[in-house]
Structure 1
Amino acid sequence: MRIALLEDEFEQAQNIQAILSDKGHECDSFATGQSFLSAVLHRSYDLIILDWQIPDMTGIDVLKSVRTHLDWAIPAIFLTQHDSESDIVCALDAGADDFLAKPARAAELIARLNALARRSNPESEKELLVFGPFEVDMNQRSIRLHGELLSLTDKDFDLTLFLFQNQGRLLTRDVLLERVWGVARDINTRTVDTHISRLRRRLGLNPDNGFRIKTIYQRGYRLEAVQPTVTTAPASDLTSHA
């Protein structure tokens, strides 16, 4: 997972990053609420970890801003010394998914993060995923539209699955390159744009089928559910058959 950490104490941040890195996660650390918000609202993270008391604002205010401005419900956990019942209630009311007291215990932190990831994507363990008229067979690595098998490459399948599993979420080109192609972020390539353009045609991602891929200028793409187009017969046609 790509994780954003809000922690103003350098040693604490290093310790948490080391715990996460040891389990294969990528963690970016931020010492202020403003720098954290700038990153989370403009990049693609899978989960956020928040401290309560930071120099420029409270973690509660940061979370409220994330919930107001981010276009998907990113899993959020508080990791803080504020652990009274009233603090926990306050954090949960602000939109936190979990609450953990400092100091962080490695095994418990990883277990909590894994549990949050499973809850945020409950269909990840199913063999057959259904998204409107699309059926994704995880075993056969195939996709059907209205029952018809689509002709897709392995990479097309991986990209389509990732888009559907992150429906409504802004996905930057960097994240798509990392997650689907396993390519480092600093490589300049048009691979993502080419594949997205091809998927739009091959999958029929348009209002008729209930989904579209929206291009977010200079940032990336977002798969959105839309109302299928309904064609209404002209009044003259209706009366002629009355």
Structure 2
Amino acid sequence: MRCAVLDDDKAQTELVAKLLADAGHNCEVFHQGRTLINRLRQDTFDLLIIDWNMPGMSGIEVLETVRQGQHSNLPILMITSRADDEDVVKGLAAGADDYIVKPLNSVIFMARVDAVLRRAQLNRPQKTAASWGAYSFDVPTETVTVHGEAVKLTAKELALAMMLFENMSRPLSRSYLLESIWGQSPEAETRTLDAHVSRIRSKLNLRAENGFRVLPVYSYGYRLEPTNAVGLAEPIEDAA
């Protein structure tokens, strides 16, 4: 998972970043709230971990800004030295998914991170099959059935299509998609992503009349948008 950590205490951010990295997460550190907000306009994260007491834009202000924007459903964990019940209630009411009082206990912190991600359904098992409207995905055979007709995809095309469908209506940044699908591969560049999006749009006939369309998000990335009630239904899936 891609995590963003906001804290002006460098020792604290180093500890949090190490704990997350040891657990297999990618972590980006921020020391100013405004810098994080600007970054969120350009990139996608799976989890925000923010401190309350920040110079300039406070953690609560960052939290409220995120909840009012396009990342309103993004999991957010607040870590702070403010331990009063009134502060805990205020943080949760502002939109934090969980609240941890410093100093951090490493084991409890990671347990809370895992719990927040589970609740956001980001730590789900890999699917072998899933369906949205007229689109049925078969992962082992790298095949998608559209209105009963099988369409063969490459492994990367299938992974990209699944990610877009699983994150329906959520804007996904170019760097997030490249990192998630291609990892650190030298082929992971913008033209590669654009070409794959174009191919799955064509192969899967992602048009309004079929219930879904891929939309570019200016200076950001892509979003798969449902165009009728079919796309709003829960996916039918078989977990491995």
TM-score bucket of the superposed structures, by smaller chain? 0.7 to 0.9
Contact 2:142/2:154, CA 8 A, preserved across alignment = no
Unaligned runs of 5+ in 1: 230-242
Contact 1:174/1:185, CA 8 A, preserved across alignment = no
Contact 1:211/1:223, CA 8 A, preserved across alignment = yes
Question: 1:50 — aligned with what?
Answer: 50
Question: 1:160 — aligned with what?
Answer: 161
Question: 1:144 — aligned with what?
Answer: 145
Residue 57 (structure 1) shift:
2.5
Question: 1:18 — aligned with what?
Answer: 18
Contact 1:6/1:29, CA 8 A, preserved across alignment = yes
SS at structure 1 position matched to 2:130: strand
Contact 1:171/1:221, CA 8 A, preserved across alignment = yes
Q: Relative to 1, partners in 2 of residues 1:185 and 1:177: Cα closer, same or farther, differing over 3 Å?
A: farther
Q: Relative to 1, partners in 2 of residues 1:227 and 1:71: Cα closer, same or farther, differing over 3 Å?
A: farther
Unaligned runs of 5+ in 2: 231-240
- In structure 1, distance between residues paired with 2:187 and 2:53: 33
Question: 1:98 — aligned with what?
Answer: 98
Count of paired positions: 229
Question: 2:61 — aligned with what?
Answer: 61
Residue 131 (structure 1) shift:
2.0
- In structure 1, distance between residues paired with 2:148 and 2:161: 17
Question: 1:177 — aligned with what?
Answer: 178
2:203 aligned with 1:198, yes or no? Answer: no
Instruction: Point out the more displaced range, 5-14 or 64-73.
Output: 64-73
- In structure 2, distance between residues paired with 1:186 and 1:123: 27
SS at structure 1 position matched to 2:152: coil
Q: Relative to 1, partners in 2 of residues 1:191 and 1:131: Cα closer, same or farther, differing over 3 Å?
A: same
Contact 1:41/1:66, CA 8 A, preserved across alignment = no
Instruction: Point out the more displaced range, 125-134 or 30-39.
Output: 125-134
Contact 1:142/1:149, CA 8 A, preserved across alignment = yes
Question: 1:234 — aligned with what?
Answer: none
- Report Cα offsets for 1:62-102 as digits up to 9, x if no partner: 11100111245111111111233222221121111111121
- Identity across matched positions, percent: 37
- Report Cα offsets for 1:16-67 as digits up to 9, x if no partner: 1111111221111111111111112321111100111101122111111001
Contact 2:129/2:136, CA 8 A, preserved across alignment = yes
2:70 aligned with 1:70, yes or no? Answer: yes
- In structure 2, distance between residues paired with 1:10 and 1:164: 38
Residue 136 (structure 1) shift:
2.5
Q: Relative to 1, partners in 2 of residues 1:124 and 1:212: Cα closer, same or farther, differing over 3 Å?
A: farther
- In structure 2, distance between residues paired with 1:33 and 1:216: 23
Contact 2:142/2:153, CA 8 A, preserved across alignment = no
Instruction: Point out the more displaced range, 195-204 or 141-150.
Output: 141-150
- Report Cα offsets for 1:182-235 as digits up to 9, x if no partner: 235996451100010011111121111221111122321111122279xxxxxx
Query: Relative contact order (alpha carbons < 8 A, sep ≥ 6): 1 or 2 greater?
Result: 2
